[in-house]
Amino acid sequence: MSRNNIFVVGLNDLNRQRLQQLRGAEAHRIHGLIAPEEIYDTEVFPLEDMVRRAGETLSAFDEPIDAIIGYMDFPVSTMLPILCQRFGTRTTSLESLLRCEHKYWSRLVQREVIGNYIPRFTAFDPFDDDALAKIGAAGLYFPFFVKPIKSSGSRLGFRIDSPEDFQLAIGRLRNEIGLISEPFNFILEQARLPEEVRAVDGGYCMAEEIIGGWQCTVEGYVFEGEVVPYGIVDSIRYPQVLSFFRYHYPSRLPEHIQARMRDLTQTIMTHIGYDNAAFNIEFFWDEIQNRVWLLEINTRISQSHCDLFAKVDGVSHQQVTVDLALGRRPDMPHREGGFRVAGKFFYRVFFVDARVTRVPTDQELKALEQTFPGTFIELQVEPGQQLSTLPEQDSYSYALAYIWMGADSDEALENNYAQLAERLTFEFTDIIG
């Protein structure tokens, strides 16, 4: 039996294991493309060189290339349209992807069809000493949120409550924005952009009206022009801060709110022209005002949600990515998993910095996973590590471990995590609180 050759940018052991558990996996040969440490363990992305080396690897492959996929945000997501176009595999166009990932362009396009569901916004140059005054002239006043035109995760995102907050954020942005702006500008050079978008390159930032409420993510895909939302995952934060506490599936939002989010998803993704690829959209529901807000669009499945779908629906939603890349309508089951609910928990410390001196041992982790069946724990730190060296962290805390758990009820899930968290032992020195 001939097998499909599927190349995965940044393939690591965890994702290889997940891919081997998909429906039809016996018909796939999985190949890595770009070492995972170049994607996961760094904040420096020589994107032009990465695209060149990936192209050389693919060109040297002497069998058919059936699919090129990835599960990461920047830089992986932006590489895929370039590589897929070059080697004749399926994904959405670079321009439609950028209508989602270039935050300013995305807001402009959203405003054309769902303007009542997005916050007020403006772009600004963080190196412009008059930036704050220009933000005010655009109708945005304290408090507001700032973030780069292109970012990854929650990195370099700040709530601004005062001029002092803005100056502190500007200092960080000026020092660090180049890590993403330079490689993102390489991607922009490959695309056909409207002039108003081309003028706002990767070195710019966004200021947006503060929105909030019950946060969730609609996971979906587009197949031959048909937009299909297939699951909604709640994103629950720690009290009073922006840091995530857990992702929870299925969503506990009222059904009529979920239906409105699915409708908005179909409207905007059709308007963008996104096709033959997976995506997810983050929304807020402001329960007091009964108002839905669109936060942002991501051009990939969420890796954090893979195990949640496997636990509840029976297979990781990587199924969607693989099937679409092979030109097939996704064969995604529904509620065929071993648990009624599932969560990914973020075990965090709220330090400015510290040095890790102890992490849970393999034996301790294995005992916890056996105590709570279906649990998987992935440490994010090791002894001797300085917390400030961790990549992809928000501005308020550090995630020491990710814990995926399943249960038969919401209450059981929360209670099981509370018991597990009490038994996770980390130790630190040189703590800066």
Give residue-wise pLDDT tens across range 35-57.
999 988 777 899 999 999 999 99
pLDDT exceeds cutoff 70 at 106: yes
* Beta-bridge partner residues of 377: 403
Mean of pLDDT over the chain: 95
Q: Are residues 340 and 396 in the same domain?
A: yes
pLDDT of residue 153: 64
Q: Which two tokens stand for residue 81?
A: 């349209």
pLDDT band at 1 (very low <50, low <70, confident <90, very high): low
Residue 9 placed within a domain = yes
* In contact, 153 and 73? CB cutoff 8 Å: yes
Domain that holds residue 318: 214-432
CA dist 188 → 112, 155, 315 (Å): 22, 21, 35
Q: Are residues 288 and 402 in the same domain?
A: yes
Give residue-wise pLDDT tens across range 272-328.
999 999 999 999 999 999 999 999 999 999 999 999 999 999 999 999 999 999 999
Q: Which two tokens stand for residue 152?
A: 């990854």
Residue 103 placed within a domain = no
State the Cα angle at 368 between 364 and 370, rounded to 5°: 115
Residue 409 placed within a domain = yes
pLDDT exceeds cutoff 90 at 2: no
* In contact, 273 and 110? CB cutoff 8 Å: no
pLDDT exceeds cutoff 80 at 229: yes
Domain count, the chain: 3
pLDDT exceeds cutoff 90 at 395: no
Q: Are residues 39 and 182 in the same domain?
A: no
Q: Which residues have C-beta within 8 Å of that of residue 405, sequence separation ≥ 6?
A: 342, 343, 345, 372, 374, 375, 413, 416, 417, 420
pLDDT of residue 40: 82
CA dist 262 → 101, 111, 228, 258, 300 (Å): 20, 17, 9, 6, 17
pLDDT exceeds cutoff 70 at 154: no
Q: Are residues 60 and 137 in the same domain?
A: no
Q: Are residues 367 and 382 in the same domain?
A: yes
pTM to 2 decimal places: 0.94
CA dist 112 → 49, 116, 117, 120, 304 (Å): 36, 10, 11, 13, 31
Distance separating alpha carbons of residues 382 and 362, to the nearest angstrom: 12
pLDDT of residue 239: 83
pLDDT of residue 134: 97
The arithmetic mean of pLDDT across residues 174-201, rounded, is: 95
